[in-house]
Every structure is written in C-alpha cells, then in structure tokens.
C-alpha cells in the first residue's frame, strides 16, 4: 500500500494503454500529460510509428481509472477509435512525462 494524497492509504494500480484513432498531431500527448498531472498519476505517454499512442499510468486506483476514462475521449481535436488496457507493473515514477 502506498500513501494517497491527503495521507490516507489506497491501492496502487498500474496499466499499459494503446490508444488508436486520430491521436497524433492533435495534442493528445500534451493533454494526456496535463490530465495525468491533474489526477496525480505518474508514468509516460509516447507516439508509436503505427499512428497510435502508448502510455503507462500508475497511482491511486481511482485516479488511474479516471485517466483511462479520459483517454477514451482524449482532447477535443482527437478522434479515439479504441483503447486497449492491460495490467502493468509499478515502476515508481515521480511524475508524468512525454517520451520519444
């Protein structure tokens, strides 16, 4: 168990995401990074050569679930066709960033 914001104890959840659709060139990574920071989720997001976006997210279970829900919508300019979610390993990051 890891302390949540505010000092209470909650479960840590980690997921891997693959987002497809019109998700590159529309500010998806930037918006995802900002939404993750707002939710207190750590991890990373990156563009893939096939036109999809991949992400790793970890943190409080409710916050990670909220980020996954946001990923299904994305920013206004995106058109998300699908989001594959698989269980991930906790990496213990300290923030959420865009990676190459």
Render pLDDT for 55-79 as a digit per residue (tens, 0 to 9): 999 999 999 999 999 999 999 999 9
- Catalytic (active-site) positions: 29, 47
> Which residues span the domain enclosing 19?
13-89
Tell me if 49 sits within 8 A of 11, measured CB to CB.
Answer: no
Asked whether residue 26 is domain-assigned, the answer is yes
Of 21, 22, 43, the C-alpha closest to 32 is 43
- Counting the structural domains of the chain, the total is 1
Please report whether residue 98 resides in a domain.
no
CATH code (residue 47): 3.30.70.100
Would you place residue 49 in the very low, low, confident or very high pLDDT band (cuts 50, 70, 90)? very high
Give residue 43's Cα distance to chain centre. 7
């Amino acid at each position: 168990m890891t302390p949540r914001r505010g000092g209470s104890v909650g479960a840590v959840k980690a997921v891997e995401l693959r987002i497809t659709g019109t998700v590159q060139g529309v500010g998806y990574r930037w918006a995802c990074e900002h939404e993750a920071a707002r939710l207190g989720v750590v991890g990373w997001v990156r563009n893939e050569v096939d036109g999809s976006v991949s992400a790793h997210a970890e943190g409080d279970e409710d916050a990670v679930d909220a980020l996954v829900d946001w990923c299904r919508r994305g920013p206004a300019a995106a058109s998300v066709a699908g989001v594959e979610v698989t269980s991930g390993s906790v990496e213990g990051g300290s923030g959420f960033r865009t990676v190459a």
